[in-house]
């Protein structure tokens, strides 16, 4: 059991590279970015920041990296566009902000945070979210900036594969396409919890498809008990209200965080669709859980001393 006084836990998705593609160079690059993300989250807390600040700072580092499926390096939809989803939530106040289907906002998590703080609403989508971003002065960039050669190639592969299969197995591409949705949870020195998630969604997704990541209760949830960020086959996480279910099992079922997380990932999701995904979570006492049904999940945490721990494969 991981137990910290305060800190941040992150994931960079469950689509870890298979051993034959995980060169020492690639692994070093992933570890460097995960460490930078945790360092940014830690710095936000050390500056007296709110748990929400730590979550946003940690996620922005991974959004800016082309390695992960969020921000730059997002998976591409059927048109070849990066269309991104993100959400953030405060466990203290239950305030939340979310955006879906944005195409030109450099850091979708920053925009979700502004929806939380500077709009009377909880979720904005598409062109309206982008207009809000401009009014807020958020950095925007052409869609080409998000697209990488690796994701173009994965889109072409997904198109070839999906055309020979019925639509309902499209989600099979989550693990195959090395998805790398990113997320973070934090507990700050004042005992406040927060969660956030950001993604480009699934490769070759239908234009307009929204996954679990921007849906409060599905991809992200924070309440009095715990904060949770999920990654995996989004449709299943939405159906099962996965992030909320972890919190509910603690609140109503008296479960410990690790029990609640394992019940959701293994007893619920994994029985419906094998290797459906994973999550990171932290509870109000500082217990950290990193739980997944896939061969690996990019993940890590940082404690109150700034000590950073990173893991990728299941038995790291």
Residue 213 Cβ vs ligand ASP, minimum distance, rounded to whole Å: 5
Report the candidate in 11, 109, 125, 4 with the shortest Cα–Cα distance to residue 52. 109
Residue 231 binding ligand ASP, by CB under 6 A: yes
Taking each helix axis from N to C end, the angle separating 108-118 and 126-136, rounded to the nearest 10 degrees, works out to: 80
Instruction: Identify whether 23 is a catalytic site residue.
Output: no
Separation of CA 225 from chain center: 19
Q: Which is nearer to ligand ASP, 52 or 179 (CB)?
A: 179
Residue 204 Cβ vs ligand ASP, minimum distance, rounded to whole Å: 12
Contact criterion met (CB below 8 Å) for 171 and 179: no
Binding to ligand ASP (CB under 6 A) within 172-211 occurs at 174, 179, 181, 199, 201-202, 211
Residue 113 Cβ vs ligand ASP, minimum distance, rounded to whole Å: 19
Give me the count of residues in the chain: 316
- State the catalytic residue, choosing from 83, 181, 197, 268: 181
What is the dihedral sign for C-alpha 297, 180, 60, 220?
Answer: negative
Report the candidate in 37, 39, 40 with the shortest Cα–Cα distance to residue 67. 37
Residue 214 binding ligand ASP, by CB under 6 A: no
Rg (CA), the chain: 17
Q: Which is nearer to ligand ASP, 4 or 9 (CB)?
A: 9
Residue 59 binding ligand ASP, by CB under 6 A: no
Contact criterion met (CB below 8 Å) for 194 and 52: yes
| Residue 147 Rama label (left phi>0; alpha psi -120 to 50; beta) | beta
Number of residues that bind ligand ASP (CB under 6 A): 14
Among 212, 245, 283, 303, binds ligand ASP (CB under 6 A): 212
Residue 69 Cβ vs ligand ASP, minimum distance, rounded to whole Å: 6
Report the candidate in 118, 125, 80, 79 with the shortest Cα–Cα distance to residue 102. 125
Which DSSP letter does residue 142 get?
-
Residue 205 Cβ vs ligand ASP, minimum distance, rounded to whole Å: 7
Q: Which is nearer to ligand ASP, 55 or 202 (CB)?
A: 202
Contact criterion met (CB below 8 Å) for 235 and 272: no
Q: Which is nearer to ligand ASP, 49 or 296 (CB)?
A: 296
The residue ranges that bind ligand ASP (CB under 6 A) are 13, 69, 174, 179, 181, 199, 201-202, 211-213, 231-232, 234
Active site residues: 181
């Amino acid at each position: 059991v991981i137990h910290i006084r305060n800190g941040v836990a992150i994931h960079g998705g469950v689509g870890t590279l298979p051993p034959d593609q995980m060169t020492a160079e690639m692994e070093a690059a992933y570890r460097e970015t995960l460490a930078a993300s945790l360092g940014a989250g830690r710095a936000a807390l050390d500056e007296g920041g709110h748990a929400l600040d730590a979550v946003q700072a940690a996620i922005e580092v991974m959004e800016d990296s082309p390695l992960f499926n969020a921000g730059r390096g997002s998976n591409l939809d059927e048109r070849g566009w990066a269309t991104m989803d993100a959400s953030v939530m405060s466990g203290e106040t239950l305030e939340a902000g979310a955006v879906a289907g944005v195409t030109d906002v450099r850091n979708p998590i920053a925009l979700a945070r502004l929806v939380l703080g500077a709009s009377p609403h909880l979720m904005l989508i598409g062109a309206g979210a982008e207009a809000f971003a401009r009014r807020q002065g958020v950095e925007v960039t052409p869609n080409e900036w998000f697209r990488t050669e690796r994701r173009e190639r994965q889109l072409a592969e997904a198109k070839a594969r999906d055309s020979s299969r019925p639509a309902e197995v499209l989600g099979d591409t989550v693990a195959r396409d090395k998805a790398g949705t990113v997320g973070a949870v934090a507990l700050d020195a004042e005992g406040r919890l927060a969660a956030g998630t950001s993604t480009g969604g699934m490769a070759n997704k239908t234009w307009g498809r929204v996954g679990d990541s921007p849906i409060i209760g599905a991809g992200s949830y924070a309440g009095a008990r715990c904060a949770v960020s999920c990654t995996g086959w989004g449709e299943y996480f939405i159906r099962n209200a996965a992030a909320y279910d972890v919190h509910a099992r603690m609140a109503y079922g008296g479960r410990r965080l690790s029990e609640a997380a394992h019940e959701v990932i293994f007893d619920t999701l994994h029985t419906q669709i094998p290797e459906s995904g994973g999550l990171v979570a932290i509870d109000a006492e500082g217990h950290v859980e990193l739980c997944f049904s896939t061969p690996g999940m990019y993940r890590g945490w940082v404690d109150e001393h700034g000590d950073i721990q990173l893991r990728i494969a299941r038995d790291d």
